[in-house]
Structure 1
């Protein structure tokens, strides 16, 4: 994740949380949670406001949350009632094993030339038959937006090309959704559910 992206989230953490904390993402939870045991351990990678971590905790799951923005990590810690690990994804080193990894609109800030290595590293902490959810903006480009945030984008085809380089992950489901933030109905998301295989 490049520094200008983190600068944006550090400098705008309060407004970002206000805009995202109350969004209802339950339509994405069902497929992710269906194969995770009721007291399973979930890694929320790029937890942002802590919105999804909070929902998983309410549902009885054990959650480890991580964010690359110091300000968001501090704020989300207060929201979810437990410490959020402050780390860039490229530097993340964890010892626990997880039944599920949730990376909702977070890995899209990792440079394309690093994305395979980051997914390999993070999936090494996933239990066999564990579920890895990730989402990206739909497309084939990479760009810097008007807020100086870096984004990488994928289609079904281009994502399949990178996930084929990760030997122990198999795509179980790949589908598109429309952004639910007001005024952003023109943005399409690519959602991927992968399973960890032996």
Structure 2
């Protein structure tokens, strides 16, 4: 099994790279998706979040009000640490379960937005970092509905490009077109994945 840690700042296009790797046969373990699953209604994770932050974090249907929670934790580093302390262990445990279920010869891509921030780089055989020009990232986030100010705040709350590069084995630049990005993924697969798995 080849364990790839995939990371990149918000708006960098990490999910696009994840999808491109899945098309090439990788098993993707998506930490963002798992982070949503572990706080769904009825889960111990959601109960813990409500216990820490109050019932104001719940939407009318009993689900997590992500916007309300984001407003609290992005404005308060201590609150974000408290949330991370609840969610990250649940995500890691579920990620390990999913990876363990993959075939022994699989290429398992762990799509982890906060790989650097949570000190997980050494857990992987190869660390791939997706980068994009900050202005490009901000533009993508604004297209998703964030204000430019919110986009910059979320980018600033994460590790810097320099911090990510320090742990990277491979850096993919996603400032250009999808075709350019796919070409870089093809080269990575041919040079770093196929020789190990093929």
Q: TM-score under structure 2 normalisation?
A: 0.32
Q: Counting helix residues as a fraction of each chain, which structure ranks higher?
A: 2
Larger Rg: 2
Q: TM-score under structure 1 normalisation?
A: 0.32
Q: Counting strand residues as a fraction of each chain, which structure ranks higher?
A: 1
Q: Which has the higher contact order (CA 8 A, sep 6+)?
A: 2
